[in-house]
Structure 1
């Protein structure tokens, strides 16, 4: 098992370094030398050579787990450093936003296979920042991997995002109105992704909520994870349409930007203007007619309506202080991260930052 892990991490280093080399100027060079497997040693050394032949060397810890715990990574890297001023570098498959932020705060460089790069050094002076993918790569399929799609999976994940461990399989099944068999089948995939940890008895003892959300949205998206999605324009504006929804007897659940605003504490201004209204409805055309919406195309629409595959999003939605029926917070975040408008992900990050103030599980 240790040898297999070593091979996987060697390949991870190779792929990430090749991706970096392809984006550097032609007169720069980068080389990684893999170290023999041994306890308390770094996995490899990376040497970066600039055009003027100045060299900077980094000690590498490679983590093939898609979203490692930043706390564990920092502790392990520092334990392997032979001196306090050693330059440390994490190489992983995907560096999520909270992982990138906390590594930067800890003064640790990072590099992933999707193109995210942060290489910093004070002696010699090096500062390289490159952007990679907005989402993690789709997980490789294995015997223990299942796709995170479908109503039961969504309910289980939402309860994990909203609750706190420890929680057993049967209790989680009851809370999410799912079968114990369905929950048990899901567990290996979440463990493999690093999203949860379990005791020997099978109890979930730790949930890394940001990692769990990232893994879910690698498979789920608002457009592909529900029924047909129809596009509309609200002729009188989104704010007026929201007022109509508050006074309507239709069973409509709000998600996306408008719902995220309901979850933000008072006094916090959303990072982007409200430009897209996203709704769940059991009867799309009836809802559109009652709200006096006009059919449109995807490029010009400002209202999206779909019928959810998970009907509990309609029947069990909570009513916010302003009178809107809103989707659970985990669903709102998943929808924001996967809706077809780039800046909506910034709203998800803002809400995650707010949640992380009171719950450290959202930081990893």
Structure 2
């Protein structure tokens, strides 16, 4: 084994040494040579693995921290071709391994995950290690947002979908009542996934509303995000709904009923009659008392307690004598469901998107 390690950080050195030892164990008698990256290469180093008369050259990229997402991989790979390129990291998640495969890269991590492939000379070595990180990285600075499933994130996304833009993160915070730090983290995630226009520090502008809604509902769910519960009413559903008019709490109907009402106002007929009543309320206990509700996993009244119904936050849409959730909120609620219910959400989202133009 021949090593030249002048410029590498200590952690990176600790990754290279076990990797080389692993290669030597895979093929006893083979020789491994390593050289640090020079100025004429964009990789951290080059490794030569000599087995009998064959010699495999690998361009090596090293990350001392874990690589856990497809976005991590895309940032690492950039525009570099994957022919005989390999990533070394402390841990590489299954999703990141899959993305590296798609990019044509090989990989190795300290938990046993390994793929080395080459067409000339032909080499294919593959091994599975751990699927969960045994030693998660300690957070560095501000924690990045990895999901849009939370209630606060939903308020920010609905505002962006409704308005299409915002002057700044601080203004969006003022409009939604969500903290500036949380708003900034949501925007950072959206920018990282190219869901916002690049304005070079200017206003926040949605690139494509339908794409943003689809991405949001990969994480978000009306039932899961708000821990919605199913009920039946001792009064009967029709009388229970009438009691909403005398309620001392805020409420907003959503789901298929809300979508059909909005589509009807746009001159369209809803394709699916509502079979359930979905309601946002500001006070779940008060809703149970007023509507005489009893918990029932098969009940057709679904109640979600939330804090965004006041006009200072997301507000509601009033039609006739009923209050409905904002149309983009309803579209998200339906898109996060399955089957025909989701198709109603798609129709509503497409209608809203056309109206923006």
Task: Give the TM-score normalised by structure 1.
Answer: 0.54
1:349 lines up with 2:328 in the alignment: no
Counterparts in 2 of 1:183 and 1:252: CA distance versus 1, 3 Å: closer
Deviations 1:297-319 (A, max 9, x none): 2xx321111222xx123565325
1:313 lines up with 2:309 in the alignment: yes
Q: What are the residue-to-residue correspondences of 1:53-132 with 2, within 5 Å?
A: none
Counterparts in 2 of 1:270 and 1:13: CA distance versus 1, 3 Å: farther
3-state SS, counterpart of residue 177 of structure 2: coil
3-state SS, counterpart of residue 342 of structure 2: helix
Residue 232 of structure 2 corresponds to 233
Q: Which has the larger radius of gyration?
A: 2
Q: Displacement of 1:237 after TM fit?
A: 6.0
Residue 175 of structure 1 corresponds to 175
Question: CA–CA distance in 2 between the matches of 1:5 and 1:209?
Answer: 33
Deviations 1:191-224 (A, max 9, x none): 2223212212243244311121122222221222
Q: Displacement of 1:292 after TM fit?
A: 3.4
3-state SS, counterpart of residue 225 of structure 2: coil
Residue 275 of structure 1 corresponds to 275
Cα RMSD of the aligned pairs, angstroms, is 3.2
3-state SS, counterpart of residue 160 of structure 2: helix
Residue 322 of structure 2 corresponds to 324
Contact 2:243 2:291 in 1 (8 A): yes
Contact 2:167 2:202 in 1 (8 A): no
Question: CA–CA distance in 2 between the matches of 1:220 and 1:313?
Answer: 18
Counterparts in 2 of 1:4 and 1:169: CA distance versus 1, 3 Å: farther
Counterparts in 2 of 1:177 and 1:295: CA distance versus 1, 3 Å: closer
3-state SS, counterpart of residue 253 of structure 1: strand
Residue 185 of structure 1 corresponds to 185
Task: Give the TM-score normalised by structure 2.
Answer: 0.55
Deviations 1:282-333 (A, max 9, x none): 4434423422344322xx321111222xx12356532512222222222212
Q: Displacement of 1:356 after TM fit?
A: 2.6
Out of 80, 84, 109, which is 1:3 matched to? 80
Higher relative contact order (CA 8 A, sep 6+): 1
Question: CA–CA distance in 2 between the matches of 1:5 and 1:220?
Answer: 34
Q: Displacement of 1:342 after TM fit?
A: 3.1
Counterparts in 2 of 1:145 and 1:283: CA distance versus 1, 3 Å: closer
Q: Which runs of 5+ in 2 are unaligned?
A: 1-77, 86-97, 105-142
Question: CA–CA distance in 1 between the matches of 2:310 and 2:179?
Answer: 21
Question: CA–CA distance in 2 between the matches of 1:328 and 1:172?
Answer: 17
Q: Which runs of 5+ in 1 are unaligned?
A: 15-142
Counterparts in 2 of 1:281 and 1:172: CA distance versus 1, 3 Å: closer
Contact 1:271 1:350 in 2 (8 A): no
Question: CA–CA distance in 2 between the matches of 1:9 and 1:146?
Answer: 17
Deviations 1:155-210 (A, max 9, x none): 22111100133633232222222333332222231022232122122432443111
Residue 251 of structure 1 corresponds to 250
Q: Displacement of 1:9 after TM fit?
A: 8.2
